[in-house]
Structure 1
Amino acid sequence: MNQDYIIPNAWSIIEEGFEIDRVKSSESLLSIGNGAMGQRANFEEFYSGDTFQGSYIAGVYYPDKTKVGWWKNGYPEYFAKVLNAPVWIGINIEINGEQFDLNTCKEVKNFRRELNMKEGILDRSFVATLPSGLEIEVFVRRFLAADLDELGAIKYDIKPLNGKANIVFKPYVDAHVKNEDANWEEIFWESIGSEIKGEQGFVQARTFKTHYNVVTYMENAIFINSEKQAITPTAKKTEWKVEFTYEVNVKANETATIQKFGGYVVSTNHKEDELVAAAKNVLAQANALGYEQLLTNQKEAWAKTWEMADITIDGDVKAQQGIRFNIFQLNQTYSGKDARLNIGPKGFTGEKYGGSTYWDTEAYCLPFYMATKNQEVARNLLTYRYNQLDKAIENAEKLGFNKGAALYPMVTMNGEECHNEWEITFEEIHRNAAIAFAIFNYTRFTGDESYIPEAGLEVLLGIARFWKQRVNWSADKKQYVMLGVTGPNEYENNVNNNFHTSYCAQWCMNYLVEQVENVKANYPEDFSRIAAKTNITDVELAEMKEVAANIYFPYSEELGIYLQQDGFLDKDLTPVSELAKEERPINQKWSWDRILRSAYIKQADTLQAFYYFEDQFSKDRLEKHFDFYEPLTVHESSLSPCVHSIQAATLGRMEQAYTFYLRTSRLDLDDYNKEVHEGLHITSMAGTWMSIVEGFGGMRVKNDTLYFEPRLPEQWEGFSFKINFRNQILKVNVNKGETTFELEGTEPLEVYVFDQKVVVQPSI
């Protein structure tokens, strides 16, 4: 049974009632971020119950030494940990001499938390009875400024209800933190020192090995009944921590408030010897604006984001809540401002899957940012990979490849491979194809022809060279084979001739040859530069074409389908529907040996290739493959339901498409995989967006033109979305019986709906 305590609401994630066994899950679901930093929804005050403390800074990591029983040549030297950052939100509280702790209160009632997605604000309120019998009413508001991304703000109100109270606020910043996933209670930070200036506190710490310098800072103000109090705090500091103490006395029904500004400044954006000065500058900007103006700016910034990114669904509040939750988290995680950053699979919500970049970015996330932001943001994601091409070539060299072959990492922070499971590190090589496909997808959607000659061709060449060397000639089959790989279905390791991987390899080599001819003909200066740099020759290109034309794909003549890999039909093909419920999820109930010998598929594999290259397969062929592989798919990857939702919609199977949509959109809200306490599935959230726009909206780009095949689930009255297509903002409204368009701009736009041309005029 899935969790169901999140109250359905179109614009908010709401939790009512204080339950200690769901604190960690709620900390994930109510996480906030602003692209530069983020944090789980931990309580500001001390909490003695079970909690997962987590604050994170974009791009800051630690290279944890890989330890294996025996070393394998080419094995990654480290596993990149996403680091728990120093605490800036902390406010310990004493009331009438008692430490305030929700875990030890006699009673907590009217507990409510609301993550207001429309405005990017997290609120918490409750009435608590302390062990002494004093009853207090509490309201806390927190946000991370969307337009001043080194700043966060907290407003914490306490009102005693049945007696007077002596309240001691102890706000602090503390760099002595560790990771939830630390193996031996390690500390990954070293102290540089602390500083106090008036009511401002600063702690500087540096990561071991990577030497990121971070100043965590704060400034506080105290109010009684909204009137600022002239209270001089006592202050103390250690090398790790700065803490202020403010003491106030209030009568029953009077409100004591602490307002706290805080956050991080990082050496990636400032000179190391100017970090404290940079923090002081952020505080000066915050004070000049004031809390209320910062709040107003926050609302306006999010309103601007939603103006472009929102998807509306009429008649289904849980579906509406699901898509907005996904869009909200994506925008919290990555803003597109900084090409050095990428989209981590947990974003700012947890530590699992250490590393900031997976193939998820190119396969799932790029379309969302490309269509809801602008060309520059999408191009930054491609630039991220171009800037790491040299590292990708080094990664391939470590595995024995040469002549400029590039293998992009499965997991990375800086271009180096840092994933420490051999069957993924060495074998899950389809990630290379996702990067090449993203270049194609970007060019197809944006019409930007400049990226490939400027940067993309070098990436495509390195990837194609890898594929050419990765296959080998089979004298038996008289074709090129691809041995020892793991496809997207990670429940099959070390297989031969995985269809997805081989088909992608063929496509990549053909696409490279095509683009070389394009650049040679239309951008001769760029081609001369690239040819001199890479030593590409006509002979090499001819060899690639020959290899691509002769790649082997396992195929069943009897079934009329491509096989996921050699020997797939040797497995027991009992469908998932016949598995007992107590056997699910198999990744938690079965041994790995049993999983590997089964036919059960973690996520779209052969069908992922059909998704990428849809225009190369007929709908009849898609249907045949869908009917064979989906019944064997357990969907135990967050990336699985979205692809199947799109394909079910394409086949007109709307009930199935809707079921998959709910699963992808509410994967975390309903905790389908029983792991939301570890953090959210950020990258799969982009797949949720695709399931509406590409699935129910049926949007495709063909011949520089938008095509739509809109289909409405029975449960919906209608839906709408916007896309930025080549700097024209098109709104698509799908209702029962009709699809209408609204266009921002000055020029008309031709689109096709079920292959019928429609000319959309700009709105006046």
Structure 2
Amino acid sequence: MKNYIKIDEWNIIEEGFDPTLNKISESIFSIGNGRFGQRANFEESYSGNTLQGNYIAGIYYPDKTRVGWWKNGYPEYFAKVLNSANWIAILVEIEGEQLDLNTCKISNFKRILHMKEGYLERSFVAEFKNGKQIKVNTARFCSIADSEIGAIRYSITPLNFSGIITITSLIDGDVKNKDSNYDEKFWDEVYQEIQNEEAFLTLRTKKTAFDVCTGISTSIFNEEKPLSVKSEAISKEKWVGNRIQQEVAEKVEYTLYKYAAIVSSENYKKPELVDACKKTLKRATEKGFEKLLEEQEQAWKKKWEESDILIEGDAAAQQGIRFNIFQLNQTYTGEDARLNIGPKGFTGEKYGGSTYWDTEAYCVPFYLATAEQKVSKNLLIYRYRHLQKAIENAEKLGFEKGAALYPMVTINGEECHNEWEITFEEIHRNGAIAYAIFNYIRYTGDQDYLIDYGLEVLIGIARFWSQRVNWSEERKQFVILGVTGPNEYENNVNNNWYTNLMATWCLSYTMEGLAYVAEQSPTKYQTLIQKTNFDQEAETARWKEIIDNMYFPGDDRLGIFLQQDGYLDKEQTLVKDLNRKHYPIHQNWSWDRILRSCFIKQADVLQGLYFFEDDYDIETLRRNFDFYEARTIHESSLSPCVHSILAAKLGDEERAYDFYLRTSRLDLDDYNNDTQDGLHITSMAGTWMSVVEGFAGMRVRNNQLYFNPILPEKWSSYSFTIGFRGSKLNIRIQESLIKISNHSGKDLVVVIHNQEYSIAGKTNVEVSSLKDYQK
């Protein structure tokens, strides 16, 4: 763990510059707006250890995979969201010396991510080798009010000299992904233009032929008065900008404003792209930095009204949850159903920026409760539009008759992950897609989604499970062989309990869906039956046979479900007995050693118990939790949140809090020694779940909201706002009082500690004696 981020409830603060921490800070201080985003790279030159990163949602390249062998069905590429043109670059030079924080003497360095207002600020004093000193203050943001605009305010004050400063404002499109498999650059130049203080650069991706036009406008002010300067146009291949030489006076501040417009062929016709960029840039420059920042602050105010969690009495916990919510809101806005959520968002290149099952299992609950219904619906529509690709993915592996296997990793619906044990074995992701449909309908009550979209997806998934199982003559039951469960420290196992559970649940839920749609919308039902060539009698009979005869591994002596066949054959070493020097084991152990150990990367059996807790009594939950948590090393970012929720359910406040703190500060404190690669965006949704579903105990049952809250010892109170079926509720939990306020005009019935309470519109209900329930 690294504890250099200052504790502050609304800000992320770094004081002092340590080059060894720079890549971690580049991740932590990342900014974005759902359409594009960037790591917290410096505007000026930096020759030290850095990962330059600017990313645009939906713009990708099929990077040819690097494997030394091939199997039928193996993906030919790994799709990657591309490192795109760097628009923030502002190069500063004094008498031939470049401003470079790696070579200059730096003091008074401070970096602040203003989460409440949505912008990044930085300040420092730099001393050049020639002894000249300058003070720099910067602020920048990616506008969520106008998602095609970025803006920078860059101020320079000469502290001990007067003279000439040379400033170059540019767009650098000569970039590549650090994770490029063959060091290939993925962009070709299409167009460039420089006129006065503006510059434009259009790049096109190889193979996929996406066009992105970036435009910048640069101006300099002295004490808020514009300076008339002559700029020199400079350009080379994939690189355009303006160079300015400005005479400066000692102790006088000079401010450069740089605006950027970023537009793509995803939203404009290619021949119209440059004009669209110019119009967007004009819109930005006419508004100016302060007006754009004001719009940014207002947009973020609305975001926080919808999604903030207030924790009183624990500043570290408060900072952690707000950091997670901030990153989620600037990664995905739900405005475009073609987009999804990569595990690193706009903060790094690991995992290619592609879509995993993380979205359905972890992110959907957050957006269901904190955003308009269309936001979470668009996440599901994304998968519906990829159904045919999922069918094609299954066909490549030998499945037929409309069976659908959704990809482990994708951007366009096609499987593109190139690790055997993930691509071919981690098939439980199909269950997560189905569960998200169930979860969305359960929360919103939008049964029309099942009729119009969901059932077709469920049929494809159910057909896959029906073909993936096989009958074991020895057991006289159905089994599922050769899989990897959520615990990726186990590969090619038989009868992973969680996978078998998801398979039977998917079959059962699909049968329920068929009956509902047949009754509620017979015409659409018949259309779907014909479209999918569905043999209802034969296929549902097969499904019912599987449901009734599925094998689930377990151990009667311990009273637990077994993660998979043979799990107890492993040496049962507990995590508490593992020498800390081995952490993290994925960086210190061979893969062979990991696979032979009993250690678990993330919730596996417990993931199933989290999804379907109502199907098990409390003692079953407790036995399985105690057994598996002791063996879980939590080296997946997705692990602590599930454990926190289950611990809270079991009344284990201490462990629930410890897991919450770990998930909420996973990146801020670099728990897993990997923050430099980018933030764990999808697990951040799990942090929100840890509070709302964990400590507050929120559930949806029988079309009603249920709460069963506990209060962590270190907190004096916590509160949050959720939307539910047209109502907007604020829930505040104190030691002796639970207060739920209905801010909408719609009446609602909620259940608190198994007692129903009616809350009329614009009123509230108060329940006392929380301590009594905690006992």
Q: Common fold, TM-score beyond 0.5?
A: yes
Match of 2:745 in 1: 746
Name the amino acid aligned to 2:601: K
Match of 1:577 in 2: 576
Partner SS, residue 350 of structure 2: coil
Name the amino acid aligned to 2:749: E
Distance in 2 between the 1:161 and 1:86 partners? 33
Distance in 2 between the 1:184 and 1:49 partners? 23
How far the C-alpha of 1:355 sits from its partner, in A, is 4.3
The correspondence for 2:235, drawn from 217, 234, 237, is: 237
For the Cα contact (< 8 Å) 1:355–1:411, is it kept in 2? no
Distance in 2 between the 1:185 and 1:528 partners? 52
Match of 2:373 in 1: 375
For the Cα contact (< 8 Å) 1:374–1:727, is it kept in 2? no
Gaps of 5+ in 2: 764-775
Deviations 1:518-544 (A, max 9, x none): 100111111011001012222211211
The correspondence for 1:179, drawn from 172, 177, 180, is: 177
Deviations 1:315-342 (A, max 9, x none): 0000000000000000110000000000
Name the amino acid aligned to 2:571: D
Distance in 1 between the 2:757 and 2:716 partners? 23
For the Cα contact (< 8 Å) 2:138–2:153, is it kept in 1? yes
Name the amino acid aligned to 1:333: T
The correspondence for 1:489, drawn from 487, 494, 503, is: 487
For the pair 1:111 / 2:109, whether they are aligned, the reply is yes
Is 128-137 or 472-481 further displaced after alignment? 128-137
Distance in 1 between the 2:528 and 2:294 partners? 50
| 1:532-543 map, 5 Å | 532-536=530-534, 537-543=536-542
Partner SS, residue 722 of structure 2: strand
Distance in 2 between the 1:297 and 1:169 partners? 28
Deviations 1:486-530 (A, max 9, x none): 000000000000000000000000000111001001111110110
Distance in 2 between the 1:182 and 1:263 partners? 26
Distance in 2 between the 1:229 and 1:273 partners? 35
For the Cα contact (< 8 Å) 2:511–2:540, is it kept in 1? yes
Match of 1:518 in 2: 516
For the Cα contact (< 8 Å) 1:355–1:418, is it kept in 2? no
Partner SS, residue 260 of structure 2: strand
The correspondence for 2:385, drawn from 384, 387, 391, is: 387
Distance in 2 between the 1:355 and 1:456 partners? 26
| 1:180-579 map, 5 Å | 180-536=178-534, 537-579=536-578
Number of residue-to-residue matches in the alignment = 762
How far the C-alpha of 1:287 sits from its partner, in A, is 2.2
User: Could you tell me the TM-score, scaled by structure 1's length?
Assistant: 0.99
Deviations 1:366-400 (A, max 9, x none): 00011100211111000000000000000000000
How far the C-alpha of 1:549 sits from its partner, in A, is 1.1
Deviations 1:301-324 (A, max 9, x none): 000100111000000000000000
How far the C-alpha of 1:286 sits from its partner, in A, is 1.0
Is 423-432 or 748-757 further displaced after alignment? 748-757
Partner SS, residue 60 of structure 1: strand
Name the amino acid aligned to 1:670: D
Distance in 1 between the 2:34 and 2:637 partners? 22
Identity of aligned residues (%): 57
For the Cα contact (< 8 Å) 1:358–1:412, is it kept in 2? yes
Partner SS, residue 147 of structure 2: coil
Distance in 2 between the 1:659 and 1:315 partners? 16
User: Could you tell me the TM-score, scaled by structure 2's length?
Assistant: 0.97
Match of 2:33 in 1: 34
Name the amino acid aligned to 1:193: Y
Distance in 1 between the 2:222 and 2:231 partners? 15
Name the amino acid aligned to 1:435: I
Name the amino acid aligned to 1:696: F
Name the amino acid aligned to 2:659: F
Partner SS, residue 58 of structure 1: strand
How far the C-alpha of 1:66 sits from its partner, in A, is 2.0
Distance in 2 between the 1:495 and 1:377 partners? 37
Match of 1:22 in 2: 21
For the Cα contact (< 8 Å) 1:745–1:762, is it kept in 2? yes
Name the amino acid aligned to 2:505: W
Distance in 2 between the 1:460 and 1:68 partners? 33
Match of 2:655 in 1: 656
How far the C-alpha of 1:760 sits from its partner, in A, is 1.8
Is 235-244 or 293-302 further displaced after alignment? 235-244
Distance in 2 between the 1:747 and 1:411 partners? 41
Match of 1:141 in 2: 139
For the Cα contact (< 8 Å) 1:30–1:40, is it kept in 2? yes
Name the amino acid aligned to 2:723: N
Name the amino acid aligned to 2:338: R
Q: Any runs of at least 4 consecutive aligned residues in structure 1 with deviations exceeding 3 A, and if so which?
A: none
Distance in 2 between the 1:160 and 1:65 partners? 49
For the Cα contact (< 8 Å) 1:248–1:256, is it kept in 2? no
How far the C-alpha of 1:582 sits from its partner, in A, is 0.8
Name the amino acid aligned to 2:260: G
Partner SS, residue 194 of structure 2: strand
For the Cα contact (< 8 Å) 2:57–2:81, is it kept in 1? no
For the pair 1:124 / 2:122, whether they are aligned, the reply is yes
Distance in 2 between the 1:418 and 1:411 partners? 6
How far the C-alpha of 1:248 sits from its partner, in A, is 1.1
Distance in 1 between the 2:537 and 2:728 partners? 42
Name the amino acid aligned to 1:591: S
For the Cα contact (< 8 Å) 2:390–2:404, is it kept in 1? yes
For the Cα contact (< 8 Å) 2:313–2:717, is it kept in 1? yes
Distance in 2 between the 1:746 and 1:260 partners? 45
Distance in 2 between the 1:538 and 1:264 partners? 54
Distance in 1 between the 2:752 and 2:456 partners? 37
How far the C-alpha of 1:77 sits from its partner, in A, is 1.4
Name the amino acid aligned to 2:151: A
Match of 1:709 in 2: 708
Name the amino acid aligned to 2:743: E
Match of 2:590 in 1: 591
How far the C-alpha of 1:183 sits from its partner, in A, is 3.3
Name the amino acid aligned to 1:150: E
Match of 1:98 in 2: 97
